[in-house]
Amino acid sequence: MNLVSNGNFEIYSQCPNNASQITYATGWHNAALTPDYFNACSPTSVGTNVPNAGFGYQPDCCGGGGYAGIYVLYISTANNDGREYMYTKLIDTLKSGHKYLASMYVSNTSFFNYAIATVGMLFTDTAIALVSPQSFINANPQVKNNTLLADTVNWMLIQDTITAIGNEIYLTLGNFNTSVTCDSVKIFSTGVDAAYYYIDGVSVYDVATIGIEQNKNNAEVNVYPNPAQNNFTIEVSNNQKQSISIFDVNGKQVLSQTINGTTSIDASNFSAGVYNITITNSIGITNKRLVIVK
């Protein structure tokens, strides 16, 4: 189960009609300054439409019609560490010693001319909400990207496995490095001196529960190793013919085939991330979840 209740930003209380309306996305809040909410329900004239967002055209990453957006760097002599953060409360507290797979997708925007590396995910036991003009959270996030996030066309995955201290229940997203240490690069010669990212597909899974089946087809099904890298095995307890379908986090089918009994699957072409596996026979369906790491 994804512990982020509205990680795809599809559920909203109101359709956004202006900037700074992240609270319209159910469950999400301002942690600093004024994060934005974009949705396909919004008219194109106000800049919060998907895919015609005001800071640069970008379709939804995960098969829906909503995403968020935040400044992660603003080049200014007055407030060089000014940036935006957003947070949500998880469905359940993280358990001490448990490993969790945390991920999100980001896309740089063509309206701004900088890119950075250090967008991160911070887990805490209390909510962080700064009062303006405060706009820098001095913390060390458990998940922090370390390669330049420069792509303005495709969504880029930020992902890591963390071990919980225990009782963390709030997740805050943003850039927790100073402007000096966030590995910023000016990628466009014109535009606003800032870095701004769209955010979508936020998820947190307890690794111990990944791969536990919802068994409705009268067969015991195991998927291993899990997490996997270049290949994995689907083991079915009976010899009935089984049809398997594998879907990525965006709902795109990446594999469909028929198996009998235990079968090895080549995953060398799978990208890192979480996948859903549906195993079907004449009796019913079993669902499994698989993590691919690279």
CATH number, residue 57: 2.60.120.260
**In terms of domains, do 130 and 259 share one?**
no
- Say if 7 falls within a structural domain: no
- Return averaged pLDDT per consecutive 10 residues of the chain, 294 residues in all: 90 95 97 96 94 94 89 73 92 94 92 94 96 90 94 90 95 94 90 92 84 51 87 82 79 82 89 83 72 83
* Rounded-to-integer distance, Cα 188 and Cα 205, Å: 36
Two structure tokens written together for 184: 């910023």
Residue 62: helix, strand or coil by DSSP?
coil
pLDDT tens digits, 172-207: 999 999 988 999 999 998 878 899 999 998 989 888
- Say if 165 falls within a structural domain: yes
**In terms of domains, do 149 and 285 share one?**
no
Q: What does the pLDDT read at residue 165?
A: 96
Instruction: Read off the pTM.
Output: 0.76
Q: What CATH code is carried by the domain that includes residue 224? A: 2.60.40.3080
**In terms of domains, do 107 and 182 share one?**
yes
What do you get for the CA distance between the two ends of the chain, in Å? 22
Q: Which of 188, 208, 228 is the last residue of a domain?
A: 208
**In terms of domains, do 36 and 165 share one?**
yes
Q: What does the pLDDT read at residue 75?
A: 80
**In terms of domains, do 194 and 218 share one?**
no
Dihedral sign of CA atoms 225, 228, 231, 236 in order: positive
- Say if 83 falls within a structural domain: yes
- Say if 5 falls within a structural domain: no
Q: What does the pLDDT read at residue 222?
A: 84
**In terms of domains, do 169 and 77 share one?**
yes
- Say if 41 falls within a structural domain: yes
Q: Which of 177, 208, 239 is the last residue of a domain?
A: 208
- Say if 269 falls within a structural domain: yes
Q: Which of 160, 180, 208 is the last residue of a domain?
A: 208
**In terms of domains, do 139 and 257 share one?**
no
**In terms of domains, do 188 and 268 share one?**
no
**In terms of domains, do 162 and 69 share one?**
yes
Q: How many domains does the chain have?
A: 2
**In terms of domains, do 98 and 216 share one?**
no
**In terms of domains, do 155 and 188 share one?**
yes
Two structure tokens written together for 11: 């559920």
Domain, as residue range, for 287: 210-292
**In terms of domains, do 38 and 133 share one?**
yes
Q: Which phi-psi region, left, alpha or beta, contains residue 218 (left: φ > 0; alpha: ψ -120 to 50)?
A: left
Q: What does the pLDDT read at residue 211?
A: 53
Report helix, strand and coil shares of the chain as percent, to nearest 5.
Answer: 5, 45, 55
Q: What does the pLDDT read at residue 189?
A: 84
